[in-house]
Amino acid sequence: MRAVMLNRIGWCTMLLVMLATAAEAQRRGGTTRRRTATQRNAQQDPNAPVVNPATGNAVATPPPAAPPTTAAAAPVDTPRKSLRIDGVVERNLARERVPIVYDYIREDDRFWEKRVWQIIDVREKINLPFQYNVEDEAGTNQLFINILLNAIKNKEVEAFSPIDDRFTTIMPYDEIQKKVSGEEKQVRSIDPVTGEEKLVTTRDDFDPSTIRQYKIKEVWVFDKEASALKVRILGIAPLMARMNDDGSYRASIPLFWVYYPDLRPILAKYDVYNQNNDASTISWEDLFEMRFFGSYIVKENNTYNREIKDYIKDGVMRLLEGQAIKDRIFNKEQDLWQY
């Protein structure tokens, strides 16, 4: 009899333990479901306050950004086209112009030739179009250095390293970007919502005002068949100004070389600013071919392959020497005639 009573007490104890365990599991499941539902409602409500774990204060999250469906919502670095006619008449933005075809010169007709290097200083009054930093109706920036950089970036023309001026080494756009904007840097940034600290990759912006000069390489040749002196530009190199710590000018270094015959079809599509008449414009290719720029000679092909500054120290005398070289070139054509 005693054994039967102990057996019944054991079964009752086991039943009570099982009931208590089931009740605890049910309580925990309800709490978890209520917590999950609360989090789901907080995620669905965009205006629900979010607690900043760094400060413990409630922070309202910004509303989600709308997708860019219009031109006004486009990124900043994309061209912003005019949505209305910006003028009296609508201009033809389809640049279908082609460069002027050069006259063919046979090898036997190349009677005389002189190779020179010149500097175009954009601070001179005649060269002010090189500083025209304005976007046209199509949203394209008309600054000359930006035209060169965009052409290289879009692989429309190749850039060459300034280690020489014979176009021997191709220079990728990433290397040019490092020279004009510096190396990429890792900076610490704190998220204003979550307070999380993370590293962000950034790079300095390019300052076009550092491009003050352009170096051009050209050949003057006398065509015996046409009995005329002709000029052919071979390359263009933008020069970046380097400054000392005190802000004084130190030197100008070439960024890259661009082979001018490859660049001519691109320059023919861009207009040059005309400060006297906005309705009358020419292309950049016309400006170079018609010599509508001011320049001075810094080097001619010589035995020692040196520039004028290497044997003349005075700045005024350098300009006079460059002008003397230019006069000898133009006088050569007159000396070949007989009267």
283: helix, coil or strand? strand
Token pair in block for residue 57:
């204060």
Burial of 133 (0-12, 13-18, 19+ CB in 10 A): middle
Res 156: pLDDT = 95
Torsion 7-10-12-15 (CA) sign? negative
Q: With beta carbons less than 8 A apart as the criterion, state whether 143 and 211 touch.
A: no
Q: Is the pLDDT of residue 209 over 70?
A: yes
Q: How far apart are the C-alpha atoms of 288 and 55, rounded to whole Å? A: 63
User: Residue 30: which residues within 8 A CB-CB, separation 6 or more?
Assistant: none
CA-to-CA distance for 259 and 247, rounded, in angstroms? 33
pTM of the predicted structure, to 2 decimals: 0.71
In degrees, rounded to 5, the angle at the alpha carbon of residue 141 between the alpha carbons of residues 149 and 248 is 65
| Those residues with Cβ within 8 angstroms of residue 93's Cβ, 6 or more apart along the chain or in another chain | 136, 137, 138
CA distance 269 to 99: 9
Does pLDDT of 130 surpass 50? yes
Q: What is the pLDDT of residue 141?
A: 79
pLDDT in the model for residue 56: 60
pLDDT tens-digit series, residues 286-319: 999 999 999 999 999 999 999 999 999 999 999 9
For β-strands 257-259 and 159-160, DSSP reports them as antiparallel
